[in-house]
Amino acid sequence: MHQPKVLVIQDISASCRISLNVAVPVLSCLNNGVSVLPTALLSTHTGIGFTDFTYLNLTSEIKKILHHWKTLGLKFDGLLIGYLGSIEQIELVRYIIREFLTDDALSVLDPVLGDHGFLYPGFDDDYVNQMRILCRDVSVVIPNMTEMSLLLDESYHPGPYTEADIKAQLRKLTALNQGTVVLTGVRYDDEKIGAASYRYQTDGYAYAAGPYYPGHFDGTGDLFSSVIAGFLFQKKPLALATKTAVDYVGRVIVRTLESDNDLKYGVQFETDLPYLIQQLYQDRE
Ligand code: PXL
């Protein structure tokens, strides 16, 4: 059985179920051979609930790793890019896209910038601009509504939205990468929330939604992009990837709310991993 060789680039937030801590298990469950390039080692994430987190920037180590990988002739069939810490790291990612991907590789970017209308700590307009430039170099971009408005330099609204507005935004962003965008956190009413996907080449639009649970759930964006990437690396259809990611994240939120977990440490994603595997192999039943 052919297994795609994939690379994940994002931080390790040591004590939290976000970033690499969730991307690796999800991609592995989905039958991808995973290599990692950690951008930073933090004690926790930098979002709501934590202030005195530690942050070890790994840029200089990444350069040494890439130098070694070059001598090995390593190439990847898939690339998933999550939280990056600096403009220098964005530039390194552009170098990786040029030098370390096979000819028909699929690159997936979660342009992690902010949430609920706000930039995450440490990011500024220059950083947003560089992320916008990075969007041009990847096959698939997976922003949330905040990141979409930052990338398009438009004002943020918490929703609900109209389908016409969302389609217009999707068209504008896909014009950047001439590829695919999957937009998360899309609400057309007060009951449901989901993801809208758009393909530049085919003008193809799709929407998948599940029940809306108000609140903030750290790590759900990272989980969502890992599921989308995992399915697309397996050459599964975008519609199946999007529907599965929406359903899975919904299940994970319910699990987390039913548990006594402290929400700031991320979500209980492990229990429902078998659901992902079941969806991946559903056509074999
Ligand atoms: O989940 C996105 C994310 C990833 N990594 C770090 C973060 C955040 C969001 O706050 O702080 C370090």
For position 121, which CATH number holds? 3.40.1190.20
Domains contained in the chain, number? 1
pLDDT in tens, the chain (285 residues): 779 999 999 999 999 999 999 999 999 999 999 999 999 999 999 999 999 999 999 999 999 999 999 999 999 999 999 999 999 999 999 999 999 999 999 999 999 999 999 999 899 999 999 999 999 999 999 999 999 999 999 999 999 999 999 999 999 999 999 999 999 999 999 999 999 999 999 999 999 999 999 999 999 999 999 999 999 999 999 999 999 999 999 999 999 999 999 999 999 999 999 999 999 998 775
Specify if 277 maps to a domain.
Answer: no
Specify if 273 maps to a domain.
Answer: no
What is residue 282's predicted lDDT score, i.e. its pLDDT?
Answer: 87
Residue 265 and residue 226 in contact, taking contact as beta carbons nearer than 8 Å: no
Question: What is the extent of the structural domain holding 211?
Answer: 5-268
Plot region of 253 (φ>0 → left; ψ -120 to 50 → alpha; else → beta): alpha
Q: Ligand 1 mean position to 13 CA, how many Å? A: 8
What is residue 276's predicted lDDT score, i.e. its pLDDT?
Answer: 98
Q: Which protein residues touch ligand 1 with a CB less than 6 Å away?
A: 11, 13, 18-19, 42, 45-47, 83, 112, 120, 218-219, 221-222
For residue 252, give both structure tokens: 């994970």
Q: Ligand 1 mean position to 92 CA, how many Å? A: 19
CA dihedral 128, 129, 132, 136 (to 10 degrees): -150
Entry pTM: 0.97
Specify if 186 maps to a domain.
Answer: yes
Candidate of 9, 43, 45, 116 to mutate for ligand 1, largest count of ligand atoms within 8 Å of Cβ: 45
What is residue 17's predicted lDDT score, i.e. its pLDDT?
Answer: 98
Tell the residue nearest (CA) to atom 12 of ligand 1. 45
Specify if 17 maps to a domain.
Answer: yes
Plot region of 153 (φ>0 → left; ψ -120 to 50 → alpha; else → beta): left
What is residue 285's predicted lDDT score, i.e. its pLDDT?
Answer: 57
Q: Ligand 1 mean position to 233 CA, how many Å? A: 23
Atom of ligand 1 nearest to the CA of 85: 12
Specify if 284 maps to a domain.
Answer: no
Q: Ligand 1 mean position to 219 CA, how many Å? A: 8
Q: Cα-flanking dihedrals φ and ψ of residue 278, to 5°?
A: -60, -45
Burial of 59 (0-12, 13-18, 19+ CB in 10 A): middle
Q: Ligand 1 mean position to 45 CA, how many Å? A: 5
What is residue 2's predicted lDDT score, i.e. its pLDDT?
Answer: 78
